[in-house]
């Protein structure tokens, strides 16, 4: 775990990567990841709760219906594909948007 920078751990945790996956990515134990997060005073993201359930139930009903309809009409296009596409589009736009010089 010493090879992994605190910044890397914090970034992986922030995007919802489980402690087990972080441990596998960095060839260490889950306990090492947990202890490191605790030492940084950062609570681990709760990956036991369904991410999409939380997102979906937090949407207004009309958006829930629209999302369900969109995905049902495109059975080969998964919610994972949709979220990846939205993130890629948003981040690409943010990276390519000229900064205000003022």
Identify the domain containing residue 71 by its residue range.
Answer: 51-96
77 pLDDT tier (thresholds 50, 70, 90) = confident
Q: What angle do CA 66, 48, 8 make, to 5 degrees?
A: 95
Within this chain, do residues 56 and 83 fall inside the same structural domain, yes or no?
yes
Tokens of 46: 């709760």
Q: Model confidence over 19-55: pLDDT tens digits? A: 999 999 999 999 999 999 999 999 888 777 777 878 8
Dist. CA 7–CA 79, nearest whole Å: 29
Within this chain, do residues 57 and 35 fall inside the same structural domain, yes or no?
no
| Alpha helices in the chain, H assignment, sequence order | 6-14, 19-25, 30-39, 51-57, 61-73, 79-96
Q: What angle do CA 30, 47, 25 make, to 5 degrees?
A: 40
Dist. CA 33–CA 20, nearest whole Å: 8
Asked if the model's pLDDT at residue 62 lies above 90, the reply is yes
Q: What is the pTM of this model?
A: 0.62
In-domain check, residue 16: yes
| CB contact at 8 A, 21 and 15 | no
In-domain check, residue 20: yes
């Amino acid at each position: 775990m010493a090879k992994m920078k605190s910044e890397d751990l914090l970034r992986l945790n922030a995007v919802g990567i489980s402690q087990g996956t972080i441990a596998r990515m960095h060839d260490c134990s889950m306990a090492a990841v947990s202890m490191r997060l605790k030492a940084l005073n950062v609570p681990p993201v709760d990956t036991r709760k369904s991410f999409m359930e939380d997102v979906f139930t937090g949407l207004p009903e009309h958006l829930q219906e629209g999302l369900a309809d969109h995905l049902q009409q495109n059975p080969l296009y998964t919610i994972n594909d949709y979220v990846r596409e939205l993130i890629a589009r948003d981040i690409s736009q943010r990276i390519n948007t000229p900064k205000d010089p003022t």
